[in-house]
Amino acid sequence: MTDDWCGWREAAETALYGDEGFYRRPEGPAGHFRTSVHASSLFAGAVARLLAGTARELGTDEVALVDVGAGRGELLTGVLAAVPAGLRVRAYAVEIAGRPPGLDPRIEWCAEPPQGVTGLLFANEWLDNVPTDLAEADADGVARRVMVRRADGTERLGDPVSGADAEWLRRWWPLTSPGDRAEIGRPRDEAWARAVASLAGGLAVAVDYAHVRESRPPFGTLTGFRAGREVRPVPDGSCDLTSHVALDACAAAGSAVAGEPAEVRDQRAALRELGVSGERPPLSLASADPAGYLRALAASGEAAELTARGGLGDFGWLSQRVRAG
Ligand SMILES: C[S@@+](CC[C@H](N)C(=O)[O-])C[C@H]1O[C@@H](n2cnc3c(N)ncnc32)[C@H](O)[C@@H]1O
């Protein structure tokens, strides 16, 4: 076993995105967990309506759709199939992993968001995978950086957190009692601010499991996932490493760049507004149109999953408008 200790941010960066990293694997994220994108095509339909609404607000019939952390391009494929006739869409998949074979040639595959485009930037379950350092309050209540051994995930406390990270903790996630832990979300704020700044106009939306300052989890939420199961987080490339997002901090960072207020609400409210509801079809439809009734029943089941309390419906939607010109 190597005795290779470092902070969690550096360890996770290599474990997820290094040459042999977890996200470079051919099976892609869908091989290990289910996001809203995989749960139902209703999600892509809702994003298509959001894109059309964004185009209307911009007064154009040609818009960009930028999917940050695009996985294997599943969301973009679904949205392109659902956009209304007459709306021309330039689709960009921003992804660290390589372009999958057979992807729709209309989708441009890029390592960074394109600069200066106008339209909708959408990031579903991206920010939770932006690696952060961890801090833990020691016996005297001093916040120290958590160091981890890459080979087996063993932890020990390092130096006191200082500088910009200490400032971030003070503002967004103060540690008060010995043993309390926090994910230092500064890299996520910065990543989100860069994504917002790439738009020349339109709307940027980040969707993720999230918490806000009033209700931070006392011990943080760092978790590993492999093949659909939660596993102990070990930064050796064998599993996903994820933690809930301090979405209020990201909102403040994006808002500062855009010069416009940000809005955070849950997926339940956001999807309802976009016409996705878990209501069952009327029973009278069963005799009038049995096939239509079955289709509507299946759709209402999928909508219920996307909007469920205690599940995907609790995800946060951070919306940031960017004024054109
Ligand atoms: C949890 S998956 C979500 C995939 C997809 N958005 C979905 O909802 O099914 C996160 C994805 O973000 C990608 N990713 C993480 N950081 C990135 C970055 N800085 N630039 C581009 N892609 C990134 C990962 O490679 C991974 O495919």
Average pLDDT (33-42) is: 92
Q: Please give the model's pTM, rounded to 2 decimal places.
A: 0.96
pLDDT tens, residue by residue, 273-288: 999 987 888 889 999 9
Does residue 233 sit within a domain? no
pLDDT tens, residue by residue, 225-271: 998 899 999 999 999 999 999 999 999 999 999 999 999 999 999 99
Nearest Cα to Cα of residue 17 among 77, 67, 69? 69
Say if ligand 1 is within 6 A of residue 124 CB. Answer: yes
Say if ligand 1 is within 6 A of residue 23 CB. Answer: yes
**Distance in angstroms (rounded) separating the CA atoms of residues 117 and 113:** 9
**Which residues have CB under 8 Å from 105's CB, separation 6+?**
none
Is the model's pLDDT at 115 over the cut of 80? yes
- The secondary structure of residue 25, as a DSSP letter, is S
> Following DSSP, what letter does each residue of 162-187 receive, concatenated?
-HHHHHHHHHH----STT-EEEE-HH
Q: Closest Cα to atom 14, ligand 1: which residue?
A: 69
Does residue 152 sit within a domain? no
Say if ligand 1 is within 6 A of residue 54 CB. Answer: no
Is there a contact between 151 and 236 (Cβ–Cβ < 8 Å)? yes
Say if ligand 1 is within 6 A of residue 125 CB. Answer: yes
Say if ligand 1 is within 6 A of residue 97 CB. Answer: yes
Does residue 81 sit within a domain? yes
Is the model's pLDDT at 1 over the cut of 90? no
Say if ligand 1 is within 6 A of residue 242 CB. Answer: no
Compute CA distances 15 → 19, 68, 143, 156, whole Å.
Answer: 9, 20, 25, 19
**Distance in angstroms (rounded) separating the CA atoms of residues 96 and 110:** 8
Say if ligand 1 is within 6 A of residue 320 CB. Answer: no
CA of 190 to the centre of ligand 1 (A): 16
Q: Closest Cα to atom 27, ligand 1: which residue?
A: 71
Does residue 308 sit within a domain? yes
Does residue 75 sit within a domain? yes
In this structure, is the dihedral angle defined by the CA atoms of residues 290, 296, 300 and 306, taken in order, positive or negative? positive
Task: Say whether 85 sits in a helix, a strand or coil.
Answer: coil
Q: Supply the CATH number for residue 268's domain.
A: 3.40.50.12710
- 112 is in which domain, residue-wise? 32-131+185-209+244-274+303-322
pLDDT tens, residue by residue, 302-319: 999 999 999 999 999 999
Q: In which band, very low, low, confident or very high, does the pLDDT at 2 lie, cut at 50, 70 and 90?
A: low
Does residue 90 sit within a domain? yes
pLDDT tens, residue by residue, 147-192: 999 999 999 999 999 999 999 999 999 998 999 999 999 999 999 9
In this structure, is the dihedral angle defined by the CA atoms of residues 124, 272, 82 and 318, taken in order, positive or negative? negative
**Structure tokens given for 138:** 């020691």
The total number of structural domains that make up the chain: 1
**Distance in angstroms (rounded) separating the CA atoms of residues 143 and 176:** 9
Does residue 289 sit within a domain? no
Say if ligand 1 is within 6 A of residue 94 CB. Answer: yes
**Distance in angstroms (rounded) separating the CA atoms of residues 118 and 203:** 9
Does residue 224 sit within a domain? no
* CA 67 to ligand 1: nearest atom: 6
Average pLDDT (63-78) is: 97
Residue 236: what residue type? D
Q: Closest Cα to atom 23, ligand 1: which residue?
A: 69
> 67: buried, middle or exposed (CB in 10 Å: 19+, 13-18, 0-12)?
buried
CA of 70 to the centre of ligand 1 (A): 5
Compute CA distances 124 → 36, 94, 141, 255, whole Å.
Answer: 8, 12, 35, 19
- The secondary structure of residue 115, as a DSSP letter, is T
